[in-house]
């Protein structure tokens, strides 16, 4: 019995259910999974150091022990130093009580524009709203007279209170005093154990993961693990460099300003920046508040505020873009969403692990087909190429943003690349949707007018037609092989060859006649290619799609062009081109015939066989290929070749 197919929406429902189950498991198992994730994170950070020690001849276990002890000793010493300095600072705060009181009084007594406006509104409201009329005070009620026969009520008897002294054992007192320390210490111990075992058996763990996840796909799984490891290691290293370059200026400037415990604030600024978004605010707020309490003037607190603002601007706009680059592969929105999600799931530890964990998810989405949505949603790579984005903006009837796509691409590419990579594929998509009946008349008219407008602008553009072609290895540059640098080079040292410009057309370039296969889209493509040929130095003209077959043959004969290019856009390109190809080959047997199946997919040799072209005819799919083929054609200077070409 055949197995019934799943409903179209079932895979998505299964994926959503799997995501919900995994999220629930992460939340319920956070007591075990958080130390595990921290251990993996520290393993990525310490593995390069262990590898370098092993290369010096030190054994695996001694190298792991040395790196682990030194790393956690540095972390523990820094933590102890910071906590001790904060305790001393808290004990010295009463000495600044008078300065704090003066600050508060100065803020209260300051009348700025907002306080003055509020005071004026209060006075006006009292004048506009009439005060209620004064009323006479109500007479006091006379005390009730009790009858003589009434008996006095007995007062309630007092409730006895017994004081019971609680007897607590020394163990209970120690447990209550150290309760807030036991949890972090136990987590730190588990993390250290995980780090040690991960560093000792990292190759064995890697092999087991590849065996479980990539049996039969060893190459793909190895690439995924290497990609994740490189991204996370680079992210941690760059984060360390950025944080140190942030914390050192903080400590130095605060020390020069005379703020107490300047080294502590530098260490905190370095450590707290590992917490995205929250850490920089916390590391800046504490020194700013302390400066307001310590310094009697205002310029030094303002200097502290300016220091953190300048460092944040430099770090966010210079250091991070320069050092990070595309090391993580995450979009800015994904970083924010991941920070919120992992903080909600695991608290502050989740905020610390948000970026590395999300990097792992993006890498999984890149190499695992079922998880591709993770890479699409959270990755920084564009999900659409420029042609699809250009066509989508045209479908949305947004001509301005579609023009921005062309301008952005033209800023780093040549003119012929814009035709081949954006406009021709977009026209191919439009023709496919038109043949399927998916385009409404108003959108079809808008597409036609917008593309005509873009073509006129591109014809007037001063961008280069082609990218510069570098010379082959060992070949001299174009021209006479000498440059200005070579002329002044008296040492005889060979200079690096300069890029060669686009090939020059021949002295007497042959003319080219461009024929549309059938409809208006083919005519637009023919006009585009004729514009490219004229820019390259070849005389070229384009025919109209409204001409009949007999008229087309007469136009070709009158043009006396030795090269004819049939312009056709899929999906009906071959069917429309076959008829023209037969008619032209029957009448002009010596004609150089070029068939452009623009942006076509598939085997071009099979397409040429379906066109029933001769062996000398050429089939291409892009303007770049067509231009190169025309440059290879060995044709005589255009003249009166009617007798040679007549069939």
Q: Is residue 140 in a domain? A: no
Place of tokens 């189950």: 21
Residue 52 token pair: 């370098």
Picking from 361, 378, 395, the residue at the C-terminal end of a domain is 378
Give the span between the Cα atoms of 354 and 341, in whole angstroms. Answer: 8
Give the span between the Cα atoms of 440 and 433, in whole angstroms. Answer: 10
pLDDT at 163: 54
pLDDT digits (tens, 9 = 90+) for 237-293: 888 888 888 889 999 999 898 888 888 888 888 888 887 778 888 888 888 888 888
pLDDT at 561: 83
Domain range holding 45? 30-93+184-200
Residues 408, 369 share a domain: no
Q: Is residue 136 in a domain? A: no
Residues 603, 518 share a domain: yes
Residues 521, 412 share a domain: no
- Selection from 379-388, 400-409, 628-637 with the highest mean pLDDT: 400-409
Residues 542, 413 share a domain: no
- 597: phi then psi, degrees, rounded to nearest 5: -95, 80
**How distant, in Å, are the alpha carbons of 385, 564, 573, 574, 576 from that of 570?**
19, 19, 5, 8, 10
Work out the pLDDT band at 485, boundaries 50, 70, 90. Answer: very low
pLDDT digits (tens, 9 = 90+) for 159-180: 565 555 555 556 565 556 565 6
Q: Is residue 105 in a domain? A: no
Closest CA to 397 of 445, 465, 463: 445
Residues 524, 452 share a domain: no
Work out the pLDDT band at 479, boundaries 50, 70, 90. Answer: very low
Helix axes 10-28, 30-55, angle to 10 degrees: 80
Picking from 200, 233, 255, the residue at the C-terminal end of a domain is 200
Residue 527 token pair: 């006009």
Residues 560, 453 share a domain: no
Residues 434, 418 share a domain: yes
Ordered alpha helix ranges (H), 113-169: 113-128
| CATH code where residue 571 lies | 3.40.50.280
Higher pLDDT, 156 or 587: 587
pLDDT (mean) for 118-122: 57
Picking from 432, 467, 502, the residue at the C-terminal end of a domain is 467
| CATH code where residue 458 lies | 1.10.1240
pLDDT (mean) for 77-100: 76
3-class state of residue 614 by DSSP: coil
Residue-wise DSSP of 461-498: --S-SSPPBPPPTTPPPSTTS--HHHHT--S-PPPPPP
Q: Is residue 141 in a domain? A: no
Q: Is residue 167 in a domain? A: no
pLDDT digits (tens, 9 = 90+) for 585-627: 778 877 888 888 888 877 777 777 777 665 557 888 899 999 9
Residues 253, 308 share a domain: yes
3-state helix, strand, coil in the chain (%, to 5): 65, 5, 30
pLDDT at 419: 92
Q: Is residue 578 in a domain? A: yes
Residues 574, 526 share a domain: yes
Residues 615, 522 share a domain: yes
Peptide bond into 568 cis (omega under 30): no
Q: Is residue 518 in a domain? A: yes
Q: Is residue 179 in a domain? A: no
Residues 240, 191 share a domain: no
Residues 441, 295 share a domain: no
108: Cα separation from own chain's centroid: 47
The total number of structural domains in the chain stands at 4
pLDDT at 296 over 60: yes
pLDDT at 373: 80
């Amino acid at each position: 019995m055949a197995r019934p197919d799943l409903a179209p929406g079932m895979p998505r429902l299964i994926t959503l259910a799997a995501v919900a189950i995994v999220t629930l498991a992460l939340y319920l198992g956070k007591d075990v999974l958080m130390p595990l994730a921290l251990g993996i994170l520290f393993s990525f950070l310490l593995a390069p150091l262990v590898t370098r020690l092993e290369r010096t001849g030190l054994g695996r276990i001694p190298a792991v022990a040395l790196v682990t002890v030194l790393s956690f000793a540095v972390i523990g010493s820094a933590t102890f130093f910071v906590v001790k300095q904060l305790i001393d600072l808290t004990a010295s705060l009463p000495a600044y009580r008078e300065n704090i009181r003066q600050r508060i009084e100065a803020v209260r007594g300051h009348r700025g524009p907002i306080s003055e406006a509020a005071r004026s509104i209060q006075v006006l409201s009292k004048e506009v709203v009439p005060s209620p009329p004064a009323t006479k005070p109500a007479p006091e009620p006379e005390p009730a007279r009790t009858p003589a026969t009434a008996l006095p009520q007995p007062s309630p008897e007092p409730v006895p209170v017994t004081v019971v002294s609680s007897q607590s054992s020394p163990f209970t007192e120690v447990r209550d005093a150290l309760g807030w320390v036991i949890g972090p210490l136990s987590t730190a111990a588990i993390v250290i154990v995980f780090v040690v075992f991960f560093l000792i058996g990292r190759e064995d763990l890697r092999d087991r993961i590849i065996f479980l996840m990539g049996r039969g796909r060893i190459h793909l799984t190895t690439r995924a693990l290497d990609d994740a490891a490189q991204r996370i290691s680079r992210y941690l290293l760059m984060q360390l460099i950025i944080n140190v370059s942030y914390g050192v200026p903080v400590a130095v400037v605060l020390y020069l300003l005379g703020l107490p415990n300047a080294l502590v604030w530098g260490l905190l600024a370095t450590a707290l920046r590992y917490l995205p978004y929250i850490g920089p605010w916390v590391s800046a707020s504490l020194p700013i508040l302390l400066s307001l309490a310590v310094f009697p003037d205002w310029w030094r607190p303002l200097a502290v505020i300016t220091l953190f603002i300048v460092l944040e601007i430099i770090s966010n706009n210079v250091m991070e873009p320069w050092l990070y680059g595309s090391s993580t592969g995450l979009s800015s929105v994904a970083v924010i969403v991941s920070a919120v999600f992992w903080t909600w799931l695991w608290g502050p530890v989740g905020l610390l692990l948000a970026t590395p964990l999300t990097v792992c998810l993006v890498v999984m989405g890149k190499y695992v087909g079922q998880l591709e949505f993770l890479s699409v949603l959270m990755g920084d790579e564009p999900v659409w190429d420029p042609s699809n984005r250009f066509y989508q903006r045209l479908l949305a009837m947004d001509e301005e943003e579609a023009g921005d796509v062309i301008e952005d691409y033209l800023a780093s590419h040549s003119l012929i690349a814009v035709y081949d990579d954006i406009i021709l594929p977009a026209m191919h998509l439009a023709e496919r949707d038109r043949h399927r009946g998916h385009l409404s008349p108003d959108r079809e008219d808008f597409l036609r007018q917008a593309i005509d407008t873009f073509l006129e602008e591109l014809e007037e553009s001063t961008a280069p037609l082609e990218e510069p072609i570098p010379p082959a290895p060992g070949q001299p540059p174009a021209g006479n092989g000498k440059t200005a640098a070579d002329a002044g080079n008296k040492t005889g040292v060979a200079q690096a060859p300069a890029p060669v410009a686009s090939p020059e057309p021949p002295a007497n370039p042959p003319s080219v006649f461009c024929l549309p296969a059938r409809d208006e889209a083919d005519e637009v493509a023919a006009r585009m290619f004729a514009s490219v040929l004229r820019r390259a130095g070849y005389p070229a003209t384009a025919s109209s799609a409204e001409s009949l077959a007999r008229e087309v043959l007469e136009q070709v004969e009158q043009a006396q062009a030795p090269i004819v290019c049939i312009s056709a856009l899929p999906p009906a390109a071959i069917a429309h081109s076959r008829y023209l190809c037969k008619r032209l080959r029957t009448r002009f047997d010596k004609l150089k015939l070029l068939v452009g199946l623009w942006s076509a997919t598939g085997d071009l040799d099979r397409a040429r066989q379906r066109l029933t072209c001769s062996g000398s005819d050429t089939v291409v799919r892009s303007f770049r290929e067509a231009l190169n083929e025309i440059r290879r054609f060995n044709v005589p200077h255009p003249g009166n070749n009617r007798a040679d070409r007549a069939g």
